[in-house]
Amino acid sequence: MQTVPEHRPGRGRELPEEPVTREPSPAGPEKLKVVPRRRSGTPESLFADNVFRGFVVLCSLAVLATVGLIFYELLHQSHLSISKFGLKFLVKQIWDPVAEDFGALPFIYGTIVSSLVGLAIAVPLSVGTALFLTEICPRRIRSVLSLLVELLAAIPSVIYGLWGIFVLAPFLRLHVQPFLAKYFGWTGLFSGPKYGWGMLAAGVIIAIMILPIIASITREVITAVPRVQREAALALGATKWEMLSMAVLRNARPGIFGAVILGLGRALGETMAVTMVIGNRPEIARSLFAPGYTLASAIANEFTEAVSNIHLSALMEMALVLFVITLIVNALAGLLVWSITRGMPSRALA
Amino acid sequence: MPKPVHTVSVRRKLSNGAALGLISLAALVVTVPLFLILGTVLLRGLGALNWAFLTQIPKPIGEEGGGMGNAILGSLLLLGFASLIGVPLGVGTGVFLAEYGRNKFGNIVRFTADALNGVPSVVIGMTAWALVVVTQGHFSLFAGSVALGIMMIPVISRTTEEVLLLVPQSIREAALGLGIPKWRTILSVVLRTASAGIVTSIMLAFARIAGESAPLMFTAFGNEFWSTNPNQPVASLPLQIYKYAIQPYDQAHAQAWTAALILISMIMVTVILFRFIASRGAGKGAN
């Protein structure tokens, strides 16, 4: 028992502790001194290692703390509204800052509907783009096209909004909405006055904004499908499209679904562009031509102007709802994408 | 000539052609909005672009002229202060994930960073408001930087992790084999090898936050005058664009388009530079 601390394995056998350093060997005393000490780690280098490790662990803890802090602050600040309205907050349609009565249903409705419209437009286009980039596109066009898609992601939200107000909305009013009303008006989704802006415009803007993210993750997922699957399908005589649908899309389905949900997460939280084109009216209307309101745009519009504490608190609770929804949506998406790529590093940099 | 063993029916040929055609069409359609938006911004933005626009502060509504010099400066200041928060924390977390994070705690951090990346910017802005503005009692550049800095962390950390993992294991082993302690190996060998990649990750984060306006509305707030004081509200390009866009004056709209042109050029240059470095530097350093 007592001898254990004295005897360290790997030490002292080849390199006796004291005498070697005194010998005038050609290797030089420093070298002999240095090598055995470093091998077991000097106290200083161990200390430095620990400090460095401590620093990077601290950084990581800061990430955890930030998310915790966001949750805590939202919960803390919305306390007033939660205790006053309870769960009814989520299902009430009233939004009256003067009477200090608040319900978030029109905003939740607007958020979900505008996101769904966005997904309906964006999903086919972005999956198509991803398939084109990975399977069809000639090498030379590929890098240019993927750069273009990336640039689409880099355009700021507020510029999408600016373009939405002055270009997209008039275009929708003059060319798209009359067409939709004429041929699809019977669905009830495309009726009523044609302003241009409104739920439909918000959906289109959201679609353009989430295209790149869905396309790039779908691309990653498709690339992760093993080559042999494609070769097997082709060897059985499948045409290219049959190969894509049988071997590629079927295998990549959960991952593509994950990419779509990730896009949904982005769509739900999209703020500025939506605020600028959706019309900002807390109504639940069937028609997509009608104006609407989303959780995020209500926060952006009213937060700096809210005077009463309960109004601020209600907006905070909407942020909390938004935070929790996006957290769940993103976690789900992450799991689905991971199930295909198995944590393979993304190809974004390649 | 012998008959081919396998023939493809007309129906299958047609559906193949149609599907491939639609896929290609989708890719084509996706590029349309990009060109439309860039074209519009260029066309409408160039009109009001002049030296005064870049160097002067806004004139009161109704008066001709004036510029967005203070907003440009404000945006740069916000980026600078935000990176003081975002870069060390982001790179540190990235180093942790790549070098020490092959375990359960690492997975938790990875998951949380992804979650943070998905949190809507407006929610992060509200948190910064609750943390800084409420505590300080007024809007400030500092509050805006906190919001933007938080947004930078997940972008930088995940990209840094990816770049560090591209550095071959043999390089680490060579350094450790020379008796260099681990921290030194990471700082002087691994990080240096991956430096180009890390720079690109920072630029990627810049591109992401440079256009953010929602979190700045209730943190940096905006300012009609020059301001470099971290404790004072400050103007920023994206927020200025928003304010001008919702005003009912043609002149304000023209200025909004010009500001959009400046903002978009700043971001596009960053992104294209990012692609350039990523395809040259990161790849070469790693191999």
Interface predicted TM-score (ipTM) of this complex, two decimals? 0.90
Instruction: Tell whether B12 is within 8 A of chain A (Cβ).
Output: yes
What is the arithmetic mean of pLDDT over A318-346? Answer: 83
For an interface test with A, the pick among B87, B108, B127 (most A C-beta atoms closer than 10 Å) comes out as B127
Decide if pLDDT at B20 tops 90. Answer: yes
Distance between CA atoms of B245 and B243, rounded to whole angstroms?
6
Decide if pLDDT at B186 tops 90. Answer: yes
Distance between CA atoms of B278 and A322, rounded to whole angstroms?
34
Decide if pLDDT at A347 tops 90. Answer: no
Question: Who contacts A113 (Cβ-Cβ below 8 Å, separation ≥6)?
Answer: A199, A203, A288, A292
What is the reported pLDDT for B2? 62
* Phi–psi pair at A160, nearest 5 degrees: -60, -40
Chain B's closest residue to A300, CA to CA, is B214
What is the reported pLDDT for B119? 94
Range 151-210 of B in CB contact (< 8 A) with A? 153-154, 157, 159, 162-163, 165-166, 179, 181-184, 186-187, 197, 200, 207, 210
Decide if pLDDT at A311 tops 90. Answer: yes
* Phi–psi pair at B66, nearest 5 degrees: 85, 170
Using CB atoms within 10 Å of the CB of residue A31, give its burial: 0 to 12 exposed, 13 to 18 middle, 19+ buried. Answer: exposed
Q: What is the nearest CA distance from A13 to chain B, expressed in angstroms? A: 20
**Residue in A77, A167, A262 closest to B130 by CB:** A77
Distance between CA atoms of A263 and A265, rounded to whole angstroms?
5
Sign of CA dihedral B174, B176, B177, B181: positive
**Residue in B31, B123, B183 closest to A70 by CB:** B123
Confidence of residue B3 (pLDDT cuts 50, 70, 90): low
Decide if pLDDT at B287 tops 60. Answer: no
**Residue in B8, B218, B241 closest to A304 by CB:** B218
CA distances from A334 to A254, A263, B98, B118 (A): 11, 11, 19, 11
Mean of pLDDT over chain A: 85
Confidence of residue B283 (pLDDT cuts 50, 70, 90): very low
Decide if pLDDT at A23 tops 80. Answer: no
Sign of CA dihedral A184, A190, A195, A201: negative
Instruction: Give the residue, B274 or B35, on which the prediction is more confident.
Output: B35
pLDDT in tens, A233-255: 999 989 999 999 999 999 999 88
Show residues of chain A in contact with B187, CB under 8 Å. 52
pLDDT in tens, B86-138: 999 999 999 999 999 989 999 999 999 999 999 999 999 999 999 999 999 99
Confidence of residue B73 (pLDDT cuts 50, 70, 90): very high
Decide if pLDDT at A332 tops 70. Answer: yes
- Dihedral over alpha carbons A87, A90, A96, A97 (to 10 degrees): 70
What is the reported pLDDT for A1? 38
What is the arithmetic mean of pLDDT over A59-82? Answer: 95
Contact B6 A299 (CB under 8 A): no
**Residue in A64, A73, A132 closest to B26 by CB:** A132
Contact A272 B41 (CB under 8 A): no
Decide if pLDDT at B47 tops 80. Answer: yes
SS3 call for B165: helix
What is the arithmetic mean of pLDDT over B247-254? Answer: 88
Distance between CA atoms of A200 and A169, rounded to whole angstroms?
9
Distance between CA atoms of B267 and A156, rounded to whole angstroms?
9
Q: What is the nearest CA distance from A71 to chain B, expressed in angstroms? A: 9
What is the reported pLDDT for A21? 44
What is the reported pLDDT for A163? 96
Least confident of A140-144, A299-303, A334-338, B29-33: A334-338
pLDDT in tens, B190-205: 999 898 888 888 988 9
Show residues of chain B in contact with A77, CB under 8 Å. 126, 130
What is the arithmetic mean of pLDDT over A126-138? Answer: 93
Least confident of A21-25, A64-68, A90-94, A340-344: A21-25
Residue A255 · residue A167 · CB < 8 Å: no
Structure tokens given for B252: 């304000």
- Give the residue among B206, B64, B231 at the shortest CA–CA distance from B149: B206
SS3 call for A288: coil
Chain A's closest residue to B270, CA to CA, is A154
Decide if pLDDT at A10 tops 50. Answer: no
Q: What is the nearest CA distance from B2 to chain A, expressed in angstroms? A: 19
What is the reported pLDDT for B238? 94
Tokens 């349309």 appear where? B32
Contact A299 B126 (CB under 8 A): yes
Strand pairing category for A101-102 and A95-96: antiparallel
pLDDT in tens, A71-130: 999 999 999 999 999 889 999 898 988 888 999 999 999 999 999 999 999 999 999 999
What is the reported pLDDT for B161? 93
Sign of CA dihedral A97, A101, A106, A108: positive
For an interface test with A, the pick among B242, B271, B275 (most A C-beta atoms closer than 10 Å) comes out as B242
Structure tokens given for A138: 């000639």
Contact A269 B23 (CB under 8 A): no
pLDDT in tens, B125-162: 999 999 999 999 999 999 999 999 999 999 999 999 99
SS3 call for B58: strand
Exposed e or buried b per residue across B52-61, where buried means at least 16 C-beta atoms within 10 angstroms of its C-beta: ebeebbbeee
What is the arithmetic mean of pLDDT over B218-238? Answer: 90
Count CB-CB contacts under 10 A for residue B80.
11
Distance between CA atoms of B203 and A277, rounded to whole angstroms?
30
What is the reported pLDDT for A41? 59
Q: What is the nearest CA distance from A1 to chain B, expressed in angstroms? A: 32
pLDDT in tens, B169-180: 999 999 999 989
For an interface test with A, the pick among B34, B206, B250, B253 (most A C-beta atoms closer than 10 Å) comes out as B34
What is the reported pLDDT for B86? 95
What is the reported pLDDT for B66? 81
Question: Who contacts A33 (Cβ-Cβ below 8 Å, separation ≥6)?
Answer: A21
What is the arithmetic mean of pLDDT over A169-197? Answer: 91
